[in-house]
Amino acid sequence: MAYVSRYLEPNLVEKLNHLHLSARRVVEGSTIGQHRSPVKGASVEFRQHRIYTPGDDPRRLDWRVLGRTNRPYIKEYDEETNLRCVLLLDCSGSMAYAGSAISKFDYAAKLAAALAYLMLGQTESVGMGCFSRRLDAFLPPHASTSQLSRVVDLLERATPRGPSSLGDAVHEIANRLDRRSLVILISDLLAPAKLLRDGLAHLRHDRHETIVLRVLDRDEETFPFKNWSRFRGMEGERPQLFEPAMARKMYLANFESHHEQLQKDCTAMGAELVTFHTDEPLIDSVTEYLHRRMMK
């Protein structure tokens, strides 16, 4: 459990527990009007009762239980719980960068753990993959309560290193998923936009839904360096000596251009691109994001 608390801080857990959000509703928020819900038309084999939470379809209320206990429960069936979510975490060397805050990897791992906790808490199936040059580890989706421990264990074992092969990893995960799933890609996306576009196209072709969560350090957006510096690539790129003031304009232009391309590609592939900054509290960023999703 020590691992769990490392990734799921008590404050975050408390916050997530009080969100009273439907993970399914969150996911639907991203798909309504675009695709069929992955749970629509499923067979009905009763599994359990669950307390009603805002966002649940009122038609699914168990009126008998409501009448007896005066408490709102809804019936859940096995086929309804097969929301399969795969968290795809970037473990390349670039994720190890830490400016004035925690590293992007640590932030991304906590974000992954939080999402896993949220969804597992509502009995959804959650899987996870870690990739750098290739898909290094893969945890198939499962809805058991012990899945969180496995997710955390996987996070614990993951180390950011080596070059990134975002496109290959996405293709590989798409090939591994035999059922429609929700793929949440957590990465800094420091790779050519075309690779991501190809991967997203593959996922879309296999009818998977995709959310892209981009984790960035603030330095990467502002390039605040002043003195002469030798920039050494974290994924094995050739070091370069720069007077930052002279390179800033070029850097920012390239960054902006790349980001716009990512945004464009995600939109084209029906994926949502959301950026998280490591200097912003994870709790705030996650809750704000989830609320924003709910409002859609």
Partner 1 sequence: MFLNPLMLAGLGGAVLPLVLHLLARSRFRTVDWAAMMFLQAADPRERQSTRLRQFLLLLLRMVLVSLLAVALARPLVSDSFAAVASGGHLSTVVIVDASLSTSVVENGKPRSEFIRQSAIQVVTSMQKGDEVALIIAGLPGHSTQWTTDLTHVADDIASLRPAGRANMAEALVRASDLLNRSESQNRRIVIVTDRQAVSWREVDVAFRSAWRSRSRPGAALPITVAPVGNTSADNLAMASVSVLNPPVVRDQPIEIEARIRNYGNVRRAGVVVSVGIGGREITRATVDCPPDSNVPLRLSARLNEPGPAVLNAAIQMPTPIGIASDDAMDLSLDVADATKVLLISGDERAPKSSAESFFANAALQPAAAAGKPGFDPFKVTTIRTATVTPADLQSAQVAVLANVDSLSPAMATALEQFIYDGGGLLVAPGSLTRVDDYNDRLYRDGAGFLPARLTLPADAGQVIGIGQVDLAHPTIQFLRGRSELPAASIGKWFRLSPRSDARIIASLSTGDVFAVESTVGRGRVMMFATPLDADWSTLPLTSFYLPFLQSSSRWLAGGGADRNLSPGTPIVYSWTGSETRTASLLTPDGRTIALDPQRQGERAEVRYGQTHSPGVYRLRVSNSGKRDTIVPYVVGNPSDESDLTPLTKNAWSELQRDMQLQVIEPTGQSIADLLAAKRAGHEIWGLLILAVIACALLETWLSGRWSSEV
Binding of residue 3 to partner 1 (CB under 8 A) = no
Q: 184: closest CA among 129, 263, 133? A: 129
Binding of residue 29 to partner 1 (CB under 8 A) = no
Q: What is the DSSP letter of 237?
A: P
Q: How far is the CB of 162 from partner 1 (least distance, A)?
A: 13
Q: 158: closest CA among 118, 129, 188? A: 129
Q: How far is the CB of 97 from partner 1 (least distance, A)?
A: 4
Binding of residue 60 to partner 1 (CB under 8 A) = no
Name beta bridge partners: 128.
Answer: 87, 139
Count the site residues for partner 1 by CB under 8 A. 42
- For residues 54 and 74, what is the distance between their CA atoms, to the nearest angstrom? 11
Binding of residue 85 to partner 1 (CB under 8 A) = no
- Give the SS3 label for residue 9: coil
- Give the SS3 label for residue 25: helix
Binding of residue 254 to partner 1 (CB under 8 A) = yes
CA 154 from centroid of its chain's CA atoms: 15
**Count of C-beta atoms within a 10 Å radius of residue 48:** 12
Q: Whose Cβ is closer to partner 1: residue 5's or residue 222's?
A: 222
Q: 117: closest CA among 82, 93, 152? A: 152
Q: Pick the piece of the chain touching partner 1 (CB under 8 A) from 11-19, 46-54, 90-98, 276-284.
A: 90-98
Binding of residue 229 to partner 1 (CB under 8 A) = yes
Q: 147: closest CA among 117, 122, 174, 173? A: 117
Binding of residue 251 to partner 1 (CB under 8 A) = yes
Q: How far is the CB of 246 from partner 1 (least distance, A)?
A: 5
263 CB-near residues (< 8 Å, 6+ apart) = 273
Binding of residue 228 to partner 1 (CB under 8 A) = yes
Binding of residue 225 to partner 1 (CB under 8 A) = yes
Binding of residue 97 to partner 1 (CB under 8 A) = yes
Q: Whose Cβ is closer to partner 1: residue 18's or residue 230's?
A: 230
Q: Pick the piece of the chain touching partner 1 (CB under 8 A) from 17-25, 57-65, 74-82, 249-257.
A: 249-257
Binding of residue 217 to partner 1 (CB under 8 A) = yes
CA 202 from centroid of its chain's CA atoms: 18
| Residues near partner 1, by CB under 8 A | 93-97, 104, 188, 190-192, 217, 220, 222, 224-225, 227-235, 237, 239-252, 254-255, 258
